[in-house]
Amino acid sequence: MSIVVDQVVDASCATASDGAISVTASGGTPGYSFGWNGPGGFSSANEDISNLAPGSYTLTITDDNGCTTSVTVDVGALATVVADAGADQTECAGVGVTLDGTNSTGAVTYAWFDDQGELISGSPVLDLGGLAPGSYTFTLTVSDGPCSDSDQVTVTILDLPIADAGPDQVIFLSETAQLGGAPTGPAGSTYLWQPDSLLNNASIADPIANPSETTWFTVLVTAPNGCVALDSVLVTVVPEVVITNGFTPNGDGWNDAWVIDYIDLFPECEVEIYNRWGDMLFRSVGYKVPWDGRYSGGLVPVGTYYYVIKLNDPRFPDPYTGPLTVIR
Question: How is the chain split into domains, by residue range?
Answer: 2-75, 89-158, 169-238, 242-326
Whole-number pLDDT of residue 16: 84
pLDDT band, residue 271 (cuts 50/70/90): very high
pLDDT band, residue 13 (cuts 50/70/90): confident
Q: Are the CB atoms for 225 and 186 separated by under 8 Å?
A: yes
- SS3 assignment, position 39: helix
> Domain spanning 169-238: which CATH class is it, in words?
mainly beta
The correct CATH number of 2-75 out of 2.60.40.10, 3.40.50.10900, 2.120.10.10, 3.30.565.10 is 2.60.40.10
pLDDT band, residue 64 (cuts 50/70/90): very high
Rounded CA-CA distance 203/282 in Å is 49
Rounded CA-CA distance 202/191 in Å is 7
Using CA atoms, how far residue 26 sits from 47, 61, 68, in Å, is 12, 10, 12
Question: Torsion-angle region of residue 6: left (phi > 0), alpha (psi -120 to 50) or beta?
Answer: alpha
pLDDT band, residue 15 (cuts 50/70/90): confident
User: Tens digits of per-residue pLDDT, 168-216?
Assistant: 998 888 889 999 987 677 788 999 999 999 999 999 999 999 999 999 9
Superfamily of domain 89-158: Immunoglobulins (2.60.40.10)
Whole-number pLDDT of residue 138: 98
Q: Would 2-75 and 242-326 be classified into the same CATH topology? A: yes
pLDDT band, residue 278 (cuts 50/70/90): very high
Closest of 61, 41, 63, 68 to residue 52, by C-alpha: 41
Torsion angles phi and psi, residue 40, rounded to 5:
70, 25
Count of alpha carbons within 13 Å of 13, Cβ hemisphere only?
A: 17
Q: What residues contact 147, with CB distance under 8 A and at least 6 apart? A: 12, 13, 14, 15, 16, 79, 80, 81, 106
Q: What residues contact 91, with CB distance under 8 A and at least 6 apart? A: 97, 155, 156, 157, 158
User: Tens digits of per-residue pLDDT, 69-97?
Assistant: 999 999 998 888 899 999 999 999 999 99
- For residue 117, is pLDDT > 90? yes
Whole-number pLDDT of residue 210: 96
- Domain spanning 242-326: CATH 2.60.40: yes
Kindly report the pTM of this predicted structure.
0.62
- For residue 24, is pLDDT > 80? yes
User: Tens digits of per-residue pLDDT, 212-232?
Assistant: 999 999 999 999 999 999 999
CB atoms near residue 118 (< 10 Å): 8
Whole-number pLDDT of residue 257: 97
Whole-number pLDDT of residue 109: 96
Mean pLDDT, the chain, rounded, equals 94
Rounded CA-CA distance 230/219 in Å is 6
